[in-house]
Amino acid sequence: MFLPQKIESLPATSVLTIKRLKSLGIQTYWDLLNYFPSRHEDYSAISPIGKVQEGEKVTIKGRILTVKNNYVRKRLTIQHITVSDGTGTITVTWFNQPFLLRLFNPEAHISISGIIKKHGKLIIEPKEYEILKNADQDTVHTGKIIPIYPAKRGLSSRTIRDKIFSVSSVLKEKRGNDFEILPETIVKKHRLIDESLAYKNIHFPKSNVELEQAKKRLAFDELFIIQLSAKLVRLHWEKEKVGNLLSVKKYQKKIDEFVSSLSFTLTAGQKKVIKEILTDLGKKHPMNRFLQGDVGSGKTVVAAIGSLVSYLNGFQTLFMAPTEILAGQHYKTLLSLFKNTPVKIGLQTASKKFRKDADIVIGTHALLTKSVNFKKVGFVVIDEQHRFGVRQRAILKEKGSNPHLLSMTATPIPRTVALTLYGELDLSHLDEMPQGRVPIKTYLVPNQKRFDGYKWILEKVKKERAQVFVICPLIEESIVETLQSVRAATKEYEHLKKNVFPALRLGLIHGRMKSKEKDEAMNKFKEHQYDILVATSVVEVGIDIPGATIMLIEGAERYGLAQLHQLRGRVGRSDKQSYCLVFTDSNDPARLDRLSFFAKNINGQKLAEYDFKRRGPGNLYGVEQHGYDSLSVASFADYALINETKEAVTGFMKTYSLEKLPALKDRVDLFQVHRIAQD
Ligand code: ADP
Ligand code: MG
């Protein structure tokens, strides 16, 4: 690996700083070099002190004339120095930084970057400073385009800059072929700059052009490595042998019979995806397929047909859902789908022992960690997951069967993102809704219409026996539900019950309830013992209550559109007209525009693209939930570069062998280790 030195060997670095760097995930010089600035400040204009003008952003250099410390009052001290360079003298002031006095000695050479202000006379408001050994010493923090790093965990941008600067000087000495990861022909063809130069210039560019070239080079590397890595995983998987070979041809008639026994006709989209899956299932190497399909597009029956093939061949299916509620729901759905067949369906819960005799075992993702072996497993379905990774595939292999794998999600993911990030998987897309669905009507309800909204709901419940979800605002974006969100939901529930809908029956559900309590609340709602279910966003994924026809979302502006879409998908699951009321207190035009776009559009893909273009993938679904591994330099919105790198990877695979390019191999390995850690 390039620059594998541990940060412990950084010169003049305190133990505390090392500890803090480590808490940012920085272990080696290489990691440090890959900690990119969030922006740059241009302090490259160096001005004689006598020539500075009010408002200028400049660097001045000179010698310290005087140093003074003024005690003003408790908690306020002022540090003044005067600096002169022969053309003039200027005063510089800091507040509450007495430690500076130790650095600032009269006669010392100093360089200061800041803004020129007028307080009677011209002064410089310092942003960055540094003491120099002599007038000609190279500067790090001033007099240049300066990188600004996100200050975190007690580390200032300055400290990080210092450390990266010292590492980047090693880089200059080391410049040479051992650092370049790409073959020269690729570098030339795509007009990339030298890799070591890119690493230097992403931190310390001399001009904006240099910075842009560095970004392009590193973005190219990033996308190249992601896609190359995916291709390699794919090649590797294609060489694997499936544990339990399935025959599809032999059972085609039985499959057709099953399809005709269904109470509905498959959509053309379902037929297309089923065909893709059946083709895969007949192969000697395991399927790795990722099925994307909007809420309600009918993914479950597609998975059921795969399960049937596994059963007909004498093997089991594992069917995994993210929560016990969803597992329970799949259990009921599959029972009904298979009711005219001998297929035995088993529901695995936290407390129950693994059912070895069931043909389809349904449970949460915890099934994978069960200490049972899966020798008899022919097919595995993972519902509501963005992707499965190398690690999950390896677990299944270890447990004995190396089965065919299908993961499914209703989360809309822009196509370019899916193709780039999930390149190792085959993608299927259900882009059609079953016929006869009545499109949900969505209304944006500003605060002043809140009361009318409630009145309208009350009437719907009284006259049409409508059932209503009330979703509370996202308080904090977090993977687990925070206590704060739970409290807010509880409060909202009390409020609605007491002040708004005293005549109606209300229930409450949130993520901190025991799964038994959750089930109970869900069931009561399903059996129409509640008119209104107040919930945190736990109901987001997959819950099926056909009787619910009104979805009220509070604080809607806090949710990503993809997430709102998931929530809206909880209604409209019957032939009745359903409604989604989007409540917001926000008056911000951009936010309101976004919400009206949501109100007007029912296509999940379109909504995801909308947010994606404006906010970037990291913000689509809230922290971590999105499942996109965030990019550090490249952008998913950069279609041109994504395509360019994709072609470069295809060309590379034809011409080169990774084994002969150790620097690139190292980088691909490193990427895969990181990615597996996230699986
Ligand atoms: P999702 O893709 O969100 O998981 P489901 O598989 O839960 O969707 O299907 C939603 C509902 O649509 C279920 O009640 C299912 O029985 C029904 N369904 C599935 N396919 C069709 C179809 N082709 N025609 C009519 N209804 C269908
Ligand atoms: Mg589903």
Residues 484, 487: Cα–Cα separation, whole Å: 5
Ligand 1 within 6 A of 267 CB? yes
Asked if 192 and 217 count as a contact pair (C-beta separation under 8 A), the reply is: yes
Span from the CA of 578 to the centroid of ligand 1 (angstroms): 16
Question: Is 60 strand, coil or helix?
Answer: strand
Question: For residue 629, what pLDDT band results from cuts at 50, 70 and 90?
Answer: very low
Q: What is the pLDDT of residues 565-599, one digit of tens each?
A: 888 988 887 788 999 999 998 888 888 899 999 99
DSSP string over 411-465: S---HHHHHHHTTTSEEEEE--PPTTPPPPEEEEEEGGGHHHHHHHHHHHHHHH-
What's the gap in Å between 274 CA and the centre of ligand 1? Answer: 14
Residue 403 contacts residue 396 (beta carbons within 8 Å): yes
Q: Do domains 249-430 and 441-625 have the same CATH topology?
A: yes
Measured from the alpha carbon of residue 575, the closest ligand is 1
Q: Can you tell me the mean pLDDT for 60-80?
A: 90
Mean predicted confidence (pLDDT) in 324-330: 84
Residue 625 has pLDDT above 50, yes or no: no
Q: Where are the beta strands (DSSP E) in 120-177?
A: 121-132, 145-148
For residue 597, count other CB atoms closer than 10 A to its CB.
14
Look-up: residue for tokens 């130790």?
A: 102
Find the mean pLDDT for residues 439-451.
92
> Above 90 in pLDDT, residue 294?
no
| One-letter-per-residue 3-state SS of 327-348 | HHHHHHHHHHHCCCCCCCEEEC
- Distance CA(306)–CA(277), nearest Å, equals 7
> And the tokens for 388?
């499965």
- Report the alpha-carbon distance of residue 118 to residue 139 in Å, rounded: 26
Q: Across-strand partners of 121?
A: 119
- Mean pLDDT on 118-131: 91
Give me the sign of the Cα torsion angle 205, 210, 211, 217.
negative
- 295 CA closest ligand 1 atom index: 3
Residue 191 above 90 pLDDT?
yes
> What is the arithmetic mean of pLDDT over 642-671?
89
- At 2 the pLDDT is 73
Question: CA angle 674-611-365, nearest 5°?
Answer: 45
- Band of pLDDT at residue 222, cut at 50, 70 and 90: very high
**Residue 16 gets which letter from DSSP?**
H
Q: Could you tell me the distance, in angstroms and rounded to a whole number, from the CA of residue 401 to the centre of ligand 1?
A: 30
Hey, how many other C-beta atoms are within 10 angstroms of the C-beta on 19?
A: 12
Strands (DSSP E) found in 85-173: 89-95, 109-119, 121-132, 145-148
Q: Mind listing the pLDDT tens digit for each residue in 333-380?
A: 999 999 989 999 999 877 777 667 889 999 887 787 776 777 789 999
Q: Please answer whether residues 545 and 525 qualify as being in contact, where contact means their C-beta atoms are separated by less than 8 angstroms.
A: yes
CATH architecture of 441-625: 3-Layer(aba) Sandwich (3.40)
Ligand 1 atom closest to 430 (CA):
2
Residue 420 pLDDT greater than 60, yes or no: yes
Which tokens is 610 given?
């909308």
Name the closest-CA residue to atom 9, ligand 1.
Answer: 298
**Residues 6+ positions from 679 with CB-CB distance below 8 Å:** 388, 389, 390, 391, 392
Asked if residues 64 and 107 have their Cβ atoms less than 8 Å apart, the reply is yes
Residue pair 620/612 in contact (Cβ under 8 Å)? The answer is: yes
pLDDT bin (cut points 50, 70, 90) of residue 628 is very low
148, 373, 549, 607 from 39: Cα distances, Å: 5, 51, 48, 29
Mutate which of 259, 261, 264 for ligand 1 pocket (most atoms within 8 A of beta carbon): 264
Domain boundaries 1-40+157-174, CATH class: mainly alpha
**Helix pair angle (195-203, 208-239), 10° resolution:** 130
What does the pLDDT read at residue 419? 80
- End-to-end CA distance of the chain, in Å? 23
> Ligand 1, residues 294, 299, 301: which to mutate, most atoms within 8 A of Cβ?
301
SS3 of residue 61 by DSSP: strand
| Contact between 317 and 361 (Cβ < 8 Å) | yes
Long-range contacts of the stretch 127-135 (C-beta < 8 A, 24+): 127/41, 127/43, 128/43, 128/158, 129/92, 131/103, 131/104, 132/61, 132/108, 133/109, 134/109, 135/61, 135/109
The CATH code that applies to domain 249-430 is: 3.40.50.300
pLDDT of 489 strictly over 90: no
Q: Which of 101, 99, 81 is nearest to 91 (CA)?
A: 81
The values of phi and psi at residue 302, to 5°, are: -60, -45
pLDDT at 624: 33
Q: How far is it, in rounded angstroms, from Cα 303 to Cα 320?
A: 11
Round the CA-based radius of gyration of the chain to a whole number and report it: 31
Which listed ligand is nearest to 273 at the C-alpha? 1
CATH number of 45-143: 2.40.50.140
For residue 383, the ligand closest to its alpha carbon is: 2
Q: Residue 472 contacts by C-beta under 8 Å, 6 or more apart in sequence?
A: 485, 488, 489, 492, 534, 535, 536, 537, 554, 555
Full-model pTM? 0.77
Per-residue pLDDT for 670 more than 90? no
- From ligand 1's centre to the CA of 546, what distance in Å? 11
Any idea where the domains of the chain sit in the sequence? 1-40+157-174, 45-143, 249-430, 441-625
The one-character DSSP state at 139 is: P
427: closest CA among 304, 290, 312? 290
